[in-house]
Structure 1
C-alpha cells in the first residue's frame, strides 16, 4: 500500500447542510455520482455520503459505526490566517472547540467542529512549510516547490 490517502469520506446526517457549510468556507463541488457530494483537494477528495448508507456499505449499524477519535487538519502559510479561518468557520456554522493559540511545539492552531461534529484543526506549522501550490509537507519533506 502506498503512503497516501485518496479519499476522505464523512458520514453526513444532512448532506445539504454539511455541503453548504463547506461551500461557505469557499470550497467548490466537483461533479459526482448521485448520492455523493465531493470536493476535490490537492491530490485527494473529501466526500460527503449519507451516514446510514456509509454504515450499510461497511456492514455496520450506525450505532456501531459511531464517531472515531480522528481530526482533519488544514494548514495555512501564516500564523495570522488561523484566527481568520476559525472566525469564517464559526460564521458558516462551526463550533469553535479551541480558539487560535500558541502550541507547545512552536506552532499556532485552533479547532472547530463542523455542523455535524467532524473536528478540524486549523494550524500554522513553521516546521512544515506549504509548497507553492499549497500542498502540506511534514517537517518540510520533499521538494520546496
Structure 2
C-alpha cells in the first residue's frame, strides 16, 4: 500500500502550549475547537499545525526527549481506518523505515504508530475517528 504523498499534520513539541498557541493566534492562525489545554490544532490550508508539549510528544512517539535526533517535530499521515494504518506501517518498513512505535490504540481515542525515515525524522501514521479526512485526504477539524 504506497502512501498517498501528503502530510496531514505537522506537530511541534513546544515548551508551553498556551504561550505558543497565543503566538500563533497573534500571527493570524485559527484555533480549532478540538483543541484542549494540552494540545492545540491550528487550521492551515490543506494541513494542520499541532502544538503539543515537547516531552509529551516524545512520550507519544515512544522516544526519549533527550534522544539524539529527536527534533521535537513530527509529520503525520492520517488514514481512514486502523487496518489502513497497519498496512501503511508495514509498507513503510518494507521500504526501509525504522519502526519506532508499532501502531496501537492511543489515549486520545485513535490509533497510531511511528516510524523514522533514514535520517531519523519521525512520521506518525494515524486513524483519528474525531477528525476524518476529506475527499482530498486532508484532515477535517471542527471550527
Distance 1:104 1:127 in 2: 13
Q: Any gaps of 5 or more consecutive residues in structure 1?
A: 1-23, 29-41, 45-65
Q: Which entry has the higher C-alpha Rg, 1 or 2?
A: 1
Per the alignment, residue 128 of structure 2 pairs with 125
Per the alignment, residue 39 of structure 1 pairs with none
Per the alignment, residue 87 of structure 1 pairs with 90
Q: What is the CA-CA distance between 1:43 and the residue it aligns to?
A: 4.2
1:34-74: per-residue Cα shift (whole Å, max 9, x none)? xxxxxxxx847xxxxxxxxxxxxxxxxxxxxx762110011
4+ aligned runs moved over 6 Å, structure 1: none
Distance 1:94 1:134 in 2: 22
Q: How many residues are matched? A: 83
Choose which of 93, 98, 103 in structure 2 pairs with 1:100: 103
Change in CA separation of 1:25 and 1:105 when aligned onto 2, cut-off 3 Å:
closer
SS of the counterpart of 2:73?
coil
Per the alignment, residue 72 of structure 1 pairs with 75
Distance 2:127 2:3 in 1: 18
* Mapped contact 1:25–1:92 kept (Cα < 8 A): no
Q: What is the CA-CA distance between 1:26 and the residue it aligns to?
A: 6.1
Task: Please report the TM-score for the alignment, with normalisation by the length of structure 1.
Answer: 0.51
* Mapped contact 1:130–1:137 kept (Cα < 8 A): yes
Task: Please report the TM-score for the alignment, with normalisation by the length of structure 2.
Answer: 0.51
What is the root-mean-square deviation of aligned Cα atoms in Å?
2.4
* More relative contact order, 1 or 2 (CA 8 Å, 6+ apart): 2
Change in CA separation of 1:132 and 1:26 when aligned onto 2, cut-off 3 Å:
closer
